[in-house]
Structure 1
C-alpha cells in the first residue's frame, strides 16, 4: 500500500513544478501587430509531446483553459532524456493581443493539463506610446530633495541585493531538489530491481530481518525525501511569490528613480539658469562699480567716499535681494505651475466623472422613455382594438335594432293581415251557415214533397245520416292552416297551434332561411356572416 501511494504522489509533485521548462530572453514588452518568437529550454524531466502546448495567459489566471492564444509544441525525436533541449515556437500576429495595457506571460502545459513552466510578465506596447509616456513624465515637475534621491537609490541597491540573495537561495533549492529527485529515482530503481529479482529460497531469519530493515529504512528515506521535496516546493513557490513582489517593487522604484533623475536634471537646469542670472547681475554690478569709480575720479574724494560706501552697501543689499527674489519668484512660479497643473488634472477628472454620471443618467432616462413609449404604444393598440370591437358591436346592435324594427313592422302587418283574413273567414262562416240553413229548409220541403226534383238527394245522403254531420267536415275543410315559413298545410288546427309551429322554426332574420338542421353555434355564425 505504501509503495502504491508513493508512486501516485510523486508524479503530482513533478507535474506541479514550474521549473521543468525555462523561458529564455523574455523582454518586458513586445510591439503589437508583429509575430512573437518564444524560446524555451526543456530540462531532462520533460519529454516533448505533440499534445503539449504553449499558451499566452493574462497575469492572474486561475485555470489552464483561460488562455488568450496557444501554439502546439513540435516534438523532438532526437531528444536525449537527461540533456536539456532548447526549442522555440512562433505566435502569429493576427492572434496576439493588442495594445491594451495588460500584462501577459508564457506557460508550458503538457497533455495532462499540468503547467510545467511560466515566464516573467510582459506587455504589448508600441515604441511611440512608450516614448510618449516618457515625454509626458518629463513634462510633469516633481520637486524632491537630494536626501530623498539618495534614499531611493539606497533602497534600490538593497532590493537588488535581496533579489540576488533570493536568486542564490533559489539556485541552492533547485540543486537540492535535483539531488532529492536523483535520490528518489535511485530508490525507485533499487525497489524495482528488488521486485524484478526471482524468488530465492527462504534465507535465514537474520538476513531476512536485515533486508526488511533495509527496505523500511529505504521507505523512510523515500518518505522523508518526498516530504522534503514538498516542503522545498512550498518554499520555492513562496520565494517565487516574494520574488515577483520584489520585482514589482523594483520596477516601481526604477520608475521612481527615473522620475527623480528627471527632476534632478530639471533642477540642475534651473540652477544653471539662476547661475546665468547671477552672472548677468555681477556684470551689471561691475558696470556700476566702474561708473562709481569714474564719478569718484571726477568729484571730491571725501564727499564721494561716503556716497560710494552707501552705494556699495545698497548695491550689495540689492544684489542679495535680487538673488533671493529671483530664486523665490522662480520657485513660486514653478509651484504655482505645479498646483495649476494638479488643479487642472483634478478638474478634468471631476468633469470626466460628472460626464460619466450624466451619461449614465441619460441612459437610464432613455431606457425609461423607451419603456413608457412601449407601454403607450401597447395601450394605444389595445385602445384601437377595443374601439374597433366597440364599433363592430355598435354596428351589430344597430343592425339588430333595425332587424327587430323590421320584424316588428312585419309582425304588425301580419297581425293586420290575420285580422283581415279572420274577418273574411267569419264572413265565409256566416255565408256557409246561411247556405246550410237554406239547404236544410229545402231538404225539409223535399221530404214533405217527394215529387220534387230534390228527391235525388236521397241517392247522396242516406235516410239514417243527418245533414249536420257533414257541416263539421265542411268547416274543417275550410279552416285549413298553412305555415308561412315552410309552406306546409295543416288541416284541422287552430291559430295557436299554427303560431307554435312557426315559432319552432329557426329562421334567419336577414335572409329568411330556415335553419332547423343547424346547431345554435352554426346558426349564430350564419347570422353574423351577413355583417361581413
Structure 2
C-alpha cells in the first residue's frame, strides 16, 4: 500500500460506531462519502486490528458490490473472537485507505460483568495512565520537531531544483556558444580554401606571364612597365599569403576554443548527473522521513485513544494492563525508529555539505564559461 496522509482518510466517515460489540452477533457498519469522492466497483470495507500497517492485515472484509448503499453487514461467524481493539477501514479499488473508524472491541456488556479491583491495582492503573500520557506528550513534541525538520529539508530540495534548472540553462548557453563557434570555424575553413585557390591561380598566372608573355611585354610596354606589373603582382601575392596565414592562425585559435568549450560542457554534464543522483537520494530519504512522521502521528492517535479507554474502563484491569503492555512494546519500536531517523538526519547533513561543495565548483564553471562567451 502506498503511503497515505491522514487527509486521505477524510473521504469516508463511519457513523454510529459503538465502543464495543457483543460477540457472536452480526454487526451493521454505516458510513457516508464526501460529495467529491468517486467510489469504484472493487471498493471494500474491512475490519483491522488497531496498529495495522498495510491493507493486507485485515481480519475480514466485505465488497461494496454485494452490499446496500453506504451500509455493509458483517456476519458473526467471520468476526474476531478476542477482546483486542479493532476499527473499520474503507479501501478503494487502488488499494488506498479512504476512511477509518474509531476503535472498538468485541466483549460482553459491561453491565453483565462484575470485576473486583483492589485499591493497589487502581493506583497502579492510575500510575500507568499517567506514564502513558507523559509518553504521548513526548511523542507529540517529537512529531512537531520532525515536522520542522521536514519543512527545512523541503526548502533545501526546492533550492536544489532551482540550481538544477540554472545548470540546465547554462548547458544550453554553452551548447549555443559551441554551435556558433562551429559555424564560424566552418566559415573560416571555406574562406581559407577560397584564398588557397586564389593564391594558386595567381602563382600560375605569374608563371604563365613569366614564361609566355615576357618577350611580348618587353616589346610592348618596355622592360620597366613589365617589372612594375610583376612587382605589383608579387605584392598582391604577399598580401594574400599574409591574409592566409592570419586566417589560419585565427582558425587554430577557434579550434582550440571549441575544444575547451567541449571539455567544459562535458564536465558540467557530469556534475549535473552527479548532483541529480544525490538529489534523488535526498528525495528518497525525505519520503522515508515523511512516512516515519505519519507512522508516529498515527501511533500517537492510537495511544491517545488507549489512554481515554484506560480512564473510562478502569474497572476492567486485565484488559487495560494487556493493552498498556502492547503500547509499551510499540513505543520501544518507535524509539528505535527515531534513533534510526537521527542517523539519517546526520547523513542528510553530509549530503548538504557535498552539495555546497558542488555548488562552488559549478560557480567556477560558470565563470569560465562566461569568460569564453
Question: Shorter-chain TM-score: which interval?
Answer: 0.3 to 0.5
Instruction: From the CA coordinates, give the structure whose radius of gyration is larger.
Output: 1
TM-score, with length taken from structure 1: 0.30
TM-score, with length taken from structure 2: 0.40
